[in-house]
Amino acid sequence: MPPLLDVASALEIVVRTAHRLPEEVVPLGDVLGRVLARDVVSRVASPPFDKALMDGYAVRAEDLDSPEYQGGSSNVASLKVVGTVYAGQVPDRGVEAGEAVQIMTGAPLPVGTTAVVKVESTTRDGDMVLVHELVRAGANLIRQGAVMQPGDSALAAGTLLMPQQLAGLAELGVTSVAVRRRPRVAILATGDELVPPDQTPGPGQIRNTNATLLAGQARLAGCEVHPLGIARDTLGELAPRIVEGLKCDLLLLTGGVSAGLLDLVPQALASAGVQQVFHNVDMKPGKPVWFGLRPGAEPCLVFGLPGNPVSSMVCFELFVKTAIRQLLGIAPAVVPPLTAMAAVDETYTSDRPTFHPALIEFHSPSAIARTIPWQGSSDLKATLSANGMIYFPPSTQPVKQGDPMIVHKWN
């Protein structure tokens, strides 16, 4: 029997097999959570003019320590106030030697300004202002184009657009952007034992949790979800659902991929023109995971995920999420693992690399993690208080509190 494929090799295969989705132009207000398909280059300077960063007085910094304008032992300088500029106004005169212009946050700077003195460091006395702080040139102001110049790269293709990126695009006057089309994910649960969550299971039956689990994971990954319900363990039930699912970018099936008499998914996929890429990976949980491709002008990536819920969840986090990121052009496609310190002594022994449900907490200067009590791949309850998983290599030596461990955070 040939050796099992290792996780790293399987991930590389998924990346090589997945393709980029086409792009579409979408209004700025509708791109939250979408992924940029093209670089965005600034066409304007940011900020568009020299401006004050706080309320105060626009001055020439060199006047503040000049003996000519010093107003006594308790003051740095005494300057004549020659005007006021509010945000949205344009100064009607510059700042000359010995002068100050009262200015509000965000207002354009008068010509000649080299610093802004914050209002809290001043005392107003009629048309004079007493400055109690010595500031240097450049204090409390920002020059035109200091953040960005026309032609500068603003955002790179593959960027996940969050609220701050949308605000940055708005500042540049960008009203629509090219983004990758959302991946369409079809989800099909298989098994004679499954009933929908709203039904009471009969003898030997269980509720279908995997479809809900995978739909949630897919939506969090930025996908459109197309549920296909439950298919019984017959080729007659599987075939039409698979044909429907292959119209999407990804088809996820749960159950029916191991070595049982009714594990018919690989056979049904082959009959539908899906080419197997790999089957079985050296890991726990999730060893029976199946990956294939229906080639063509609109290819479909197909994952046969184990029926036990924790196996299905782990395989999604490792393999399906990698495929989705590659489809969307997010780099790196494989989410890098993190390092966390063991919160307590950990003892775990297995002949296979294991991804154990865990609680990961982020504290300065590093993260800490601990395993959650877990009864195996059918123990969905263990994931309810977990937010990630600890990777244990095969035949792991006992881990001491404070030792570094490799962890993967979910979502």
Question: Do 284 and 210 share a structural domain?
Answer: yes
Asked whether residue 294 is domain-assigned, the answer is yes
- pLDDT at res. 72: 57
How many other C-beta atoms are found inside a 10 Å radius of the C-beta of residue 70? 15
Its domain, for residue 90, covers 51-142
Question: Do 137 and 67 share a structural domain?
Answer: yes
- pLDDT at res. 30: 97
CA nearest neighbour of 380 among 218, 209, 187, 227: 209
- pLDDT at res. 177: 97
Question: Do 344 and 263 share a structural domain?
Answer: no
Q: How far apart are CA 69 and CA 237, in angstroms?
A: 91
Asked whether residue 128 is domain-assigned, the answer is yes
- pLDDT at res. 262: 63
Question: Do 283 and 198 share a structural domain?
Answer: yes
Contact 316, 253 (CB under 8 A): no
Question: Do 321 and 198 share a structural domain?
Answer: yes
Where is the domain boundary, 277, 295, 328?
A: 328
Which residues touch 383 (CB under 8 Å, ≥6 apart)?
309, 310, 313, 357, 372
Where is the domain boundary, 303, 328, 353?
A: 328
Question: Do 188 and 171 share a structural domain?
Answer: no
Residue 343 corresponds to which tokens in the numbers above?
């919160």
Asked whether residue 75 is domain-assigned, the answer is yes
Question: Do 176 and 28 share a structural domain?
Answer: yes
Question: Do 297 and 162 share a structural domain?
Answer: no
Q: What is the pTM for the complete model shown? A: 0.89
Whole-angstrom distance between the N-terminal and C-terminal Cα of the chain? 36
Question: Do 158 and 135 share a structural domain?
Answer: no
- pLDDT at res. 323: 98
Asked whether residue 359 is domain-assigned, the answer is yes
Q: How far apart are CA 256 and CA 297, in angstroms?
A: 28
Asked whether residue 151 is domain-assigned, the answer is yes
Asked whether residue 2 is domain-assigned, the answer is no
- pLDDT at res. 334: 97
Number of domains in the chain: 4
- pLDDT at res. 257: 84
Question: Do 278 and 359 share a structural domain?
Answer: no
Asked whether residue 185 is domain-assigned, the answer is yes
Question: Do 231 and 211 share a structural domain?
Answer: yes
Query: Which CATH number characterizes residue 394's domain?
Result: 2.40.340.10
Query: Which CATH number characterizes residue 166's domain?
Result: 3.90.105.10
Where is the domain boundary, 180, 196, 228?
A: 180
Asked whether residue 170 is domain-assigned, the answer is yes
Give average pLDDT by consecutive 10-residue segment, the chain, 411 residues: 89 97 97 97 96 98 88 77 97 96 98 98 95 95 97 97 97 96 98 94 95 97 97 94 98 84 84 96 96 96 96 98 98 96 91 95 91 94 96 90 96 84
Q: How far apart are CA 120 and CA 339, in angstroms?
A: 45
Question: Do 174 and 99 share a structural domain?
Answer: no
Query: Which CATH number characterizes residue 74's domain?
Result: 2.170.190.11
